[in-house]
Amino acid sequence: MSSNRELTMSSYVGVGIGLMAIVIVEVFLTFQHLPARTLLSCLLCLASLEAFIAVMYLMHVKYEKPILFWTVFPATMFVLVFLCYVFPDAFRMFSMRLMK
């Protein structure tokens, strides 16, 4: 059950405008022709910020009991971070192509 501390509809519109502003920043950075690694880092940070805002406010996690956050967030992050284990193999594939 959500608490009564929830935002008003006009505040939610503000959250939506904030999310759209982050998207505009992402597009602006894209056309600055940054190095791919820098651009990827910036875009992932901004996307994570957007996701955090969406989870906390649009999906109401901020207004639920903290046990929900501590059940959902660490388990999901654990799986997603461990997926990164495959990336060294992708770099190996890339190096092998260059050696041919």
Partner 1 sequence: MSQAELAVATGHGTVMEASPYGFDKKKLGMWVFIISDACTFGAFLFAYGYMRIGAPVWGTPFGWSSIANGMLMTAVLISSSLTMLAAVRATQVGQRSSASKWLGTTMLLGVVFAALHLREWFKLIGEGWRLFHNPTGGAAQFGATFFSVTGMHLTHVVTGVIALAFIARGYNQGRYDETHVETAGLYWHFVDLVWMFVFPLMYLMNAR
* Interface ranges with partner 1 (CB under 8 A): 1-2, 9, 12-13, 16, 19-20, 23-24, 26-27, 30-31, 36, 39-40, 43-44, 46-47, 50-51, 54-55, 58-59, 64-65, 67-68, 71-72, 75-76, 79-80, 83-84, 86-87, 89-91, 93-94, 97-98
As measured in angstroms, the least distance from the Cβ of 86 to partner 1 is 5
Per-residue exposure over 59-96, b if at least 16 CB sit within 10 Å of its own CB, e if not: eebbbeeeeeeeeeeeeeeeeeeeeeeeeeeeeeeeee
C-beta closer to partner 1: residue 5 or 36: 36
As measured in angstroms, the least distance from the Cβ of 5 to partner 1 is 14
Q: How far apart are CA 100 and CA 97, in angstroms?
A: 5
Backbone φ and ψ of 32, nearest 5°: -85, 0
As measured in angstroms, the least distance from the Cβ of 58 to partner 1 is 4
Report whether 50 contacts 64 (CB < 8 A).
no
